[in-house]
Structure formats: C-alpha cells, structure tokens
Amino acid sequence: MKLILCEMKKVFKGPIVWIALVIAIAVNIVQIISGSAAPVLSTDIQELKDRYAYFAGPITPEWSQRYQQEADQILTDPKYQVSEEEAESIIQQYVNEWGYTEETVRDNGALFLNEAGVTAHEKYEDVTVAANFYKYAMDFGEQMAQYYGDTYPGEKGEAFADYTLERYTYLANEYVANYNYDFGYGNIRKIMTVYPYTLGLVVLVALAPIFSSEYSRRTDALLLTSKNGKKRLAHGKLAAGLWTGVILWSIITVLNVAVIFCLYGTAGWEAFWQDWISTVAPFPWNQGIATVAAIFTSLLGTLFFVFILMLVSSISKNQFVSIIIGAVILLFPVFDFGFTGNYAVQMIYNFLPSRMMMGERIWQGFDLFYLAGAVIPYQYIAITFAVVASICTIPVTTHLFVRHQVEN
C-alpha cells in the first residue's frame, strides 16, 4: 500500500494535473448550465415539472385516449381560435402560395389556433408522440427483422430475425412505458458525452508519464534495483494508475450528478428511455436504469483507457510521445471524418475506450453478433472485450517496464 500511495503522490504532485481537473470541472458545469435542453431558471424547471406531472403515468390506451381528446378539444374551442378574417387569410395563403386544397387546410385545426391556443396545444405534442411508443417499438422491430432476413439468408438471418422480433415484441406488448419528467437523468447521461474532452484529458495528463517519465529521467534502472523488486514496482504503478482513474472519474462524476440533481431534480426514474430516433435498443430500461448503466459503462471506459494509456507509457521512451499517442487513442474516435460514417468504423468505435467513456452511447443502437450459434447484442461483447483487454495489458505492461533498458 505504501508503494501505491508513493506512486499516486508522484501523479498528483505537479500542478498540471490539478489545473486540468479544475478546467474539466468548469467545462462540465458550463455544459450542464448552458448546453442543456432545459432552461436553468428554477421557475422554468418547476413549470416543466408541473407540466409533466399532469401527464405522468403509465402509457396505456386509456391514457392516450384521454389526452388525445383533450388536445382535440383545444383545436375546436372558440377561445383558442383566430378570428374568421384571419382564418380565411390563412386558407388563401396555403391554397395560393403552397398549392394545398381548401379542404386539406381546413382539416388541420392547428393552423387556426391563436397564441393562447398554440401554447395550450404544444403541451400535448410530446404526449402525442409518447402515445405511439409501442407502435414505434413494433415497427422498428419488424423493420430490423426484415433487414436481417434479407441481409443474412439462412440460419444466421433467421436467428437474428427471431431474436429481434422477440425483444421488440416484448417492448410493444408486455413492457409498460411510463411518461414523466426526466431532465435530471437525461442530463446526467448527456454530460458524459463530453467525458473524452474533459475527464479523458485529465487522465491523459496524469497517467501518460507514469512509466515513460522514469525512462526520460533515467531513473528506471535505479528503481528496478530497489528493495521493492522489479515486478512489485510495476504492479505498484499499475495499481496507482487504476486508483487514480477511479478517483478522477469519481470526482468529476459525483460533482456532475450533484449539480444536475440540484438544478433539475431527481424525478423521472420510471420514465421510458427510448426516443426511437437515436435511442432504439430493445433493452426494457427506464430512465433510472439507463442512467445507472451509463454510469458504470463510463467508469469501465475510463479504466479501459487507463490501462491502455499505461501500456503506451511503458512502451514510449519519452512522456511527451506517450501523451501524443494517448491523445490520438482518446480523441480520434470522437471526431467526424469522411470515413467515420461507415458502419464497420462505427462498430469498431463501440469497442474503444472513448465511446465507452461516453456512457450511454454504446447502448443506444442495436446490432447483433452470431457466435457459436448464439445471438448476442454487440454491447455485451464490447463490455466483455473492454474487461478482458484491460486485464491482458497488466502482464504486458509489467513485462515491458521490467525489461526496459536505459539508453546511454
């Protein structure tokens, strides 16, 4: 333990790690406040909570019918209608300028709402979309099953299609989705998408020199002949790097969660997770479970990067080289290049620490692997790969550090 603490003191003794940490925390807080979908003013947040609280509950046929009727009533309520003159002007504009028929325009009651009517009706738009949750699940499942059947003829395609239909049919017919305010949990997952730029860079600055700095200072030979022994010293550095990653991740994540919950509250654990646009995976999770999964995935991605970075540091003879290589590994997968839209490239990215560090990102999509006759979602394989690869770096890093010879 003394050896680990000694190595951790080396990591944190310089001001640059603390400066990087403060900058990362500041950037995250700015992102939480200015980059969120919801306004920060407490009055606006409370208004949002009250609006969602009115509609909160399980999405059932009765729930959908009730609020659809209320939305329809707004369209026909005289107090929410524009004057007859304004209505005629709107009709003529759509007919003359955009070629719609008069009947089509009159059937769209939302076009004739006054300002108060628009405000009242807007509250029901998200509810109307949410009411289609089960339909979207079934439609997406059927489309994916058809895709797998067409793309992979034979046993593999049948297995993929059966698995897909089973999972999405469960969401459509058995899973009960709940509607509620969920800005707190959503923003926790959202802030993790910038972790490669914030947390990742702090880890990079802290751990890239952990082995290579000993080489550049020509102290590795002296250290490796100390009473701690060669392997013990290497293991001490690895353990120190591991704990450093955990501590940095914890500081930033705990602060983020605390700030977000203070601003947006903790309501909405039970709200549904899929939006059927970017989040289409068939996992029967709610907002709370999805957030917990994202948090643990982010921690795993951070530690995965820690172990890869220490491996790079054990290879590099100069700490600046290890920082550059580590930065490429960290940041390259989060930039968009002409070839990154390719399916294969995106799938590879899901197996890299940067994508995992972003938490929810690897869980949002849906695709399958076929291994030994078993159908497995790619997320499970990516998580397993991160764990196994991290463990495998330990003996390799130890061997490289112990065998390194100082150049004269």
pLDDT tens, position by position, 320-351: 888 899 999 888 877 766 666 678 888 888 99
- Between the CA of residue 209 and those of 304, 317, 321, what are the distances in Å? 17, 10, 9
Q: Which two tokens stand for residue 384?
A: 């397993």
Q: Is 280 helix (H, G, I), strand (E, B) or coil?
A: coil
pLDDT over 80 at 222, yes or no: no
Residues 6+ apart with CB under 8 A from 21: 202, 248, 251, 252
Average pLDDT over residues 235-244: 92
Q: Which two tokens stand for residue 299?
A: 């921690």
Q: Is 113 helix (H, G, I), strand (E, B) or coil?
A: strand
pTM for the predicted model, two decimal places: 0.87
Encode pLDDT of 140-160 as tens digits: 999 999 999 999 988 999 999
pLDDT at site 331: 86
Spatial distance between the Cα atoms of 68 and 143, rounded to a whole number of angstroms:
27
Higher pLDDT, 291 or 225: 291
Average pLDDT over residues 376-386: 96
Q: By mean pLDDT, which of 9-23, 108-122, 332-346, 351-365 is the weakest?
A: 332-346
Q: Determine the straight-line distance between the first and last CA of the chain, rounded to whole angstroms.
A: 33
Each domain of the chain, given as residue ranges in start order, spans: 2-42+183-403, 60-130, 133-173
Average pLDDT over residues 36-41: 47
User: 304 and 389 in contact (C-beta within 8 Å)?
Assistant: yes
Rg over CA atoms, the chain: 27
Spatial distance between the Cα atoms of 402 and 223, rounded to a whole number of angstroms:
10
Higher pLDDT, 12 or 133: 133
